[in-house]
Structure 1
Amino acid sequence: MPSRVPVKDTAEYISKAAPIAQPYLQQLQQLVETGLPNATAKIKWNLPFFELGKQYVGIAAYKAHVSLSLSANLTPELLATAKAAGYATGQKRLNIDFDQEVPVELVKAILKLVG
Structure 2
Amino acid sequence: MWKCPKCGREFKNTEQDHFCVKPNSIDEYIAAQPEDVRPLLQSIRETIRAAAPEATEKISWQMPTFWQGENLVHFAAFKKHIGLYPGGEVTSKFAERLAGYKTSKGAIQLLLGKPIDYELITDIVRWRVNQEAKRSDTL
TM range (shorter): 0.7 to 0.9
The runs of 5 or more residues in structure 2 that have no matched partner are: 1-15, 130-139
Runs of at least 4 residues of structure 1 off by over 2 A? none
Return the match for 1:103 from 108, 117, 123: 117
- Work out whether residues 73 and 92 of structure 1, in 8 Å CA contact, stay in contact via their aligned partners in 2: yes
Between Structure 1 and Structure 2, how many residues are aligned?
A: 113
Q: What is the deviation of 1:77?
A: 4.9
Aligned CA RMSD, in angstroms, stands at 1.8
What are the Cα deviations for residues 30-54 of structure 1, in whole angstroms up to 9, with x where unaligned?
Answer: 0111100010111123211110102
Q: In the alignment, which residue of structure 2 is the partner of 1:71?
A: 87
What are the Cα deviations for residues 62-110 of structure 1, in whole angstroms up to 9, with x where unaligned?
Answer: 1100011113511535122121xx2222221221111111101111111
Q: In the alignment, which residue of structure 2 is the partner of 1:91?
A: 105
Higher relative contact order (CA 8 A, sep 6+): 1
The runs of 5 or more residues in structure 1 that have no matched partner are: none
TM-score, normalised on structure 1?
Answer: 0.87
Q: In the alignment, which residue of structure 2 is the partner of 1:61?
A: 77
Q: Secondary structure at the match of 1:105?
A: helix
TM-score, normalised on structure 2?
Answer: 0.73
Which has the larger Rg? 2
Identity %: 26
* C-alpha distance in 1 between matches for 2:62 and 2:90: 24
